[in-house]
Amino acid sequence: MAVTTSQKPEPAVKYEPVIGLEVHVQLQTQSKIFCACSTRFGDPPNSNTCPVCLGLPGALPVLNREAVTMAMKAALALHCAINPRSRFARKNYFYPDLPKGYQISQYDEPLAEHGWLELSGARRKIGATRVHLEEDAGKSLHEGFPDSEEKSYIDLNRAGVPLIEIVSEPDLRSPEEAYDYLTRLKTLMLYLGVSDCNMEEGSLRCDANVSLRPVGSSGLGVKTEVKNLNSFKFLERALAYEIERQTQILESGGQIFQQTRLWDSREQKTFGMRTKEFAHDYRYFPEPDLLPVEISEAWKEEARGSLPELPDARRDRLIAQYHLAAFDADQLTSSRDLADYFEATARDLNQPKLAANWILSELLHLLNEAGREITESPVSPGHLAELIRMIDDRTLSGRMGKDVLAEMFRAGRPASAIIAEQGLRQISDQEHIAKVVHEIVAANPRQAEQYRKGKTATLGWFIGQVMKATGGQANPQAAREALEKELA
C-alpha cells in the first residue's frame, strides 16, 4: 500500500525516469504528399480533397518530391544517415477520419536513422532513432455544431498532408529535459523552414513514452505512452504526473502495464485509454501502389546544400564573433528572426553586448507585453542602434533610454524625433549640475551632516534628490561626482 504519513520511510529502491518522444511535424509543402490538393489550413471543410486523399477505389498516389526534400533537410539537420532506399508501408486501422482504412507511412525501411539532437545547457546528445515520412489523417469534429450531442463531423482537408515523425531514443531523464528537447526540435524545424510548428493548429504533435527503472540499472522498465499533449506545458506536466503515478505504484509493490494514456488538461491527470497496441496489430505491409524511394547522392547533396546556418552553429558563431555570453547567445538564437534582428543591430553598432542586453531585456519585454513577434517590432534594428548610441555617448541616461524605447515602440518613431519633441536630453553640463547639487545640499543640512559623519549610504538619497530636481535628466555619474565634491 502507498504510505502517506509524513514519516514515510526511504524506499529501498530509488527510481529514475526514462523518457522517449515521438514527434509529428507537418511539412509546409503547397500540396499534399500523394495528390495535388492544397494543404492550406482553415479552408472550408472537405474543399481540399480529391479521389486520392478521399481513398476512392482505383485512385493512385504519386509521391510529392518537395515533401521528400523537406524531410531530408530535417533528417540531415538531426545528423541522421539518409537511407539510399526507403519504402512506404500501409498501416492498417479503422477510424472514421481515415477513409482508406490504412495510413501510408514508413515502417521497416524509414527515410533516415541514427541521428541526434543536443539539449541546451550541458549540451547532452539525445538520440534520434529515425525520421520517416507519412500522410496525415483527417480531423473529426465533435464540437461546434447544433447537433454535436448526437453527431461527429469529419473534415478531410488534412487527410494526405505530409508529416514527418521523429522518434527519439529513450534518452531523456526528466520532464524538463523533454520540454527542452521539444523546444530545440521546434527551433530547428523553424530554422529549416520545413514547418510552422503551430501546436494549436496541429502542425507539431508530441506523444511521450515514459517508464521508471531503478537508479543504476541500464535496462528499460515497462512504459506508458501519453497522448493528447497539445502544449509544451502539458508535456511537462503530464510527464511529471505520470512519473509520480508510476512511482507510487512501484513503491507500493505494484506493476506497470504497457498502456496508452490520455492527458486531461482540465483534470491535470492522465487516464488509461486502451491497452497498448503492438506493431502486429497494424498488419503493416509494403505499399503496392508506390515505388521504393531512391535517394540519389545528388538529391541528398542538393538538400544538404540548401540547409541554412543551424541554431547550434549560429550560437557558436555569435559567441566567437561578438564575444557574447553563452546564455545570451542561446537566447538570441532561439529563433532565426531574433538572431537576424540582433545581427542587424550589431552591424550598425560596434557594441554587440549592449545590443544583446537591450534586445533581450527591454525589447523582448515590450514585445511580450504587446503579444508581438520580433518580426513585428515597431522599432527597427537601425533605430534601436541609434538609441543605444545615444545612451553610450551619454546623450541619454539608461533610465531615460528605457522610457524613450517604450515610446519608440508605442509610436513607431525614432529616438531622435521623440527626444526633440519631449525636450529630453541628459544633463551632463557640470556647471548646471553643480548648481543644483549646491542648492540641495544647502537645503538638507541634516543629511549632509550624516554623510560627513560616515553614513555614506546617504549619497544615494542625495542622487535621488538631484534626479528629482532635474526631472530625471541629470547624468547620474556627473551628479555623483558633483555631490562627492560638494559634501567633501
Q: Kindly list the residues in this chain that would bind Zn ion in the complex (CB under 5 A).
A: 35, 37, 50, 52-53
Q: Does the footprint of ligand ADP cover residue 396 (CB under 6 A)?
A: no
Options 16, 66, 169, 392; binder of ligand ADP; rule CB under 6 A: 169
As given in the structure block, the three cell numbers for residue 350 are 560596434
Contact stretch for ligand ADP (CB under 6 A) within 137-145, 162-170, 343-351, 406-414 = 162-170
Shortest distance (Å) from residue 222 CB to ligand ADP:
7
Partner that binds at residue 206, options ligand ADP, Zn ion, none, CB closer than 5 to 8 Å by kind: none
x/- mask, ligand ADP, residues 213-252, rule CB under 6 A, reads -------xx-x-----------------------------
Shortest distance (Å) from residue 43 CB to Zn ion:
13
Report how far Cα 481 is from the mean position of its chain's Cα atoms.
46
Q: How far apart are CA 367 and CA 360, in angstroms?
A: 10
Nearest residue to ligand ADP, by Cβ distance, number only: 20
Shortest distance (Å) from residue 20 CB to ligand ADP:
2
CB of 37 or CB of 303, closer to Zn ion? 37
- CB-count exposure of residue 371 (10 Å: 0-12, 13-18, 19+): exposed
Do the beta carbons of residue 209 and residue 19 sit within 8 Å?
yes
Q: Does the footprint of ligand ADP cover residue 419 (CB under 6 A)?
A: no
Taking the C-alpha atoms of 262, 215, 232 and 68 in order, what is their torsion angle to the nearest 10 degrees? -90
Rg (CA), the chain: 30
Which residues lie below 8 Å from residue 317, measured CB to CB, with a gap of 6+?
309
Contact stretch for ligand ADP (CB under 6 A) within 101-109, 140-148, 209-217, 446-454 = 209-217
Q: Does the footprint of ligand ADP cover residue 21 (CB under 6 A)?
A: yes
User: DSSP state, 272?
Assistant: E
Contact stretch for ligand ADP (CB under 6 A) within 19-27, 348-356, 401-409, 440-448 = 19-27
Shortest distance (Å) from residue 97 CB to ligand ADP:
21
CB of 44 or CB of 305, closer to Zn ion? 44
Q: Which amino acid is located at 40 in the chain? A: R
Q: Does the footprint of ligand ADP cover residue 211 (CB under 6 A)?
A: yes
Partner that binds at residue 337, options Zn ion, ligand ADP, none, CB closer than 5 to 8 Å by kind: none
Nearest C-alpha neighbor of 294 from the set 63, 76, 104, 79: 63
Residue 264 CB neighbours (<10 A):
14
Options 29, 69, 195, 209; binder of ligand ADP; rule CB under 6 A: 209
User: DSSP state, 185?
Assistant: H
At CB < 8 A and 24+ separation, what contacts does 181-184 make?
181/21, 181/117, 181/119, 181/126, 182/21, 182/23, 182/206, 182/232, 182/235, 183/120, 183/232, 184/117, 184/118, 184/119, 184/120, 184/311
CB of 225 or CB of 362, closer to ligand ADP? 225
Partner that binds at residue 22, options Zn ion, ligand ADP, none, CB closer than 5 to 8 Å by kind: ligand ADP
Which residues lie below 8 Å from residue 424, measured CB to CB, with a gap of 6+?
396, 400, 403, 404, 418, 473
CB of 210 or CB of 229, closer to ligand ADP? 210
Shortest distance (Å) from residue 215 CB to ligand ADP:
15
Nearest C-alpha neighbor of 406 from the set 353, 370, 457: 370
Q: Does the footprint of ligand ADP cover residue 16 (CB under 6 A)?
A: no
CA distances from residue 106 to 34, 67, 91, 206, 391 in whole angstroms, order as listed: 14, 14, 9, 18, 58
Q: How far apart are CA 317 and CA 343, in angstroms?
A: 11
Options 18, 366, 418, 441; binder of ligand ADP; rule CB under 6 A: 18
Contact stretch for ligand ADP (CB under 6 A) within 17-25, 66-74, 264-272, 451-459 = 17-25
Shortest distance (Å) from residue 189 CB to ligand ADP:
17
Shortest distance (Å) from residue 242 CB to Zn ion:
38
Q: Give 225's strand partners.
A: 209, 260
Do the beta carbons of residue 241 and residue 249 sit within 8 Å?
no
Contact stretch for ligand ADP (CB under 6 A) within 103-111, 168-176, 263-271, 457-465 = 168-176
Partner that binds at residue 169, options ligand ADP, Zn ion, none, CB closer than 5 to 8 Å by kind: ligand ADP
- Reduce the DSSP state of residue 231 to 3 states and report it: coil
- The contact set with ligand ADP (CB under 6 A) reads 18-22, 167-170, 209-211, 220-221, 223
